Amino acid sequence: MTMPTIRLMPKAEARAIRHGFPWVYSNELVTDRRTKAIEPGTLALLEDSARTPMGVVAVNPQSRIIARMLDRDPEAVIDRDWLATRLRAALAHREALYDAPFYRLVHAEADGLPGVVIDRFGDAAVIQPNAAWAEVLLDDLAAALVEVTGVSTIVKNGSGRARGLEGLPDETLVMTGALDGPVPVAMNGATYMADLTGGQKTGLFFDQRDNHAFVQRLVKGRRMLDVFSHVGGFSLASLAGGATQALAVDSSAPALELAEQGAGAMGAGDRFATRKGDAFDVMAALADEGERFDVVVCDPPAFAPNRQALDAGLRAYERVARLAAPLVAPGGYLCLCSCSHAADLTKFRNASARGIGKGGRRGQIIWTGFAGPDHPQLPQLAESGYLKSLVFRLSE
C-alpha cells in the first residue's frame, strides 16, 4: 500500500530532524487540504522542502505534533515484525539492568516507539498508546509484545492528558488474559501492590526506584513520613531499609489500602500507619501536633504539567517545602520530588530552597536524583527529563 507523502516547509529545521529530533510541529509542515485530510495515525513518507525523503512518520493533523518519526529508512515497513524488533531491543536493555521482570519496558520516543509507554509487571504488561498511530496499530503491538516477552495479560491504559492532545478517547480495558486483583511487585526489597486497571497511571511508578533506594540508606533505625505516598512508594522502601516506623499520607483511600496490603505482605504492618487527607492540611496538622520525623519525603503529582501552569506549580512546590521542613527533626532529611515537565531542575531547586527557608530551616543538598535507566531520554528532548528528586539535610 502506497503511503501518502508530506513535506516540510523551507523554514523547518530539517537538519535537527536528521540529527535525531523525533517530532514535526504543525507549523513546520506544508498543510494543504490533502494533508489535513489524512486520518490520524496514518503512516506517511516525510520529505524535506527539497523533496528529499527523510523517513517514515506517523501523522496526526489534529495534534500540534503533526508527525512523529518512526524510522529514518524511507523504505521501512512498519508492521508487527518491525514492532517486535523495537521491543526486543528495549527488552535486552531492561534485562541487562534488572533480575526480575518489573520495569518500564518502553519509554516512548527514547525506545523508538513514539508516544508509547509499556510497563511490565511479571506476566502482565500495561500499554499506554498515547499517540494516534499506536492506537491504530494496537493489536499488532500487543501481539508483538506477547511474542517478545511471553506476557499472558495485557492491559490497555487509554487515559491521561497526552491522549487528549492527540484527540483520542479515554479507555481502559484488559486486552488479553485476566487479572484477579492487584499484582505484587518486588522492588528494592519492598513489596508493592499494583492495581493495573484502577490505579494511577499504569499502577506503579517504576521511575522512582533509584530514589527509593537512596532514601533507604538514610532511614535505618529512624522514623519517616511519606507524603503523597500513592501505594507507599517511599514508605514501603523505607520499611525494607530498616525504618522503625513509616507514616503514609495520601488523599486516596484505595491507594492507602494497597499500601497497607504491601506492608502486610512484607511482614512490616506493625511498623506502618496511614493517614488519609489533603497533604497540605495533614502536614499543617502534624506540625500543630508537634510531630517530628527523621526523614520526610514529599512526592506530589505534577503541579506544572505545562508552561501555562509553571508559575502556579512552582508556588505549590514552594508551599510543599515550607510545610514539610518544620516536620524534619534537626539533622534529619527532607526529600522533595517533582514530576513536572515544565519545571526544570533549577526552577524546582530554587522553589524548594525558598520553601525550606520560609519554613524556618536551612539545608544542604546531598542527593539529586532522576528517573532510573529504564526511563531513557533522547538528548534532543529535554522534556523527557521530567523527574527530579532533591534530598536535603536540614539544620535549624
Residues involved in catalysis: 339
Question: What is the spatial distance between Cα 3 and Cα 300, in angstroms, rounded to a whole number?
Answer: 44
Do 162 and 156 form a contact (C-beta atoms < 8 A)?
A: no
Q: Which residues contact 47 (CB under 8 A, 6 or more apart)?
A: 5, 6, 7, 8, 53, 54
Question: What strands, in cross-sheet order, belong to the sheet with 53-59?
Answer: 5-7, 42-47, 53-59, 65-71, 23-25
Do 327 and 337 form a contact (C-beta atoms < 8 A)?
A: no
363 CB burial (10 A radius; 0-12, 13-18, 19+) = buried
Question: Which contiguous run of DSSP H or E holds residue 34?
Answer: helix 33-36
Q: Are strands 102-107 and 65-71 parallel, antiparallel or unpaired?
A: unpaired
Do 272 and 246 form a contact (C-beta atoms < 8 A)?
A: yes
Which residue shows C-alpha cell 520560609?
A: 358
Give CA 182 to chain center in angstroms: 20
And the C-alpha cell for 372?
Answer: 532510573
Question: What is the spatial distance between Cα 199 and Cα 11, in angstroms, rounded to a whole number?
Answer: 44
Do 231 and 193 form a contact (C-beta atoms < 8 A)?
A: yes
And the C-alpha cell for 164?
Answer: 487528549
Question: What is the spatial distance between Cα 209 and Cα 124, in angstroms, rounded to a whole number?
Answer: 19
At 101, which amino acid appears? P
- From residue 285, how far is each of 275, 277, 279, 315, 319 by CA, in Å? 11, 11, 10, 20, 15
Q: Phi and psi at residue 111, in whole multiples of 5°?
A: -105, 15
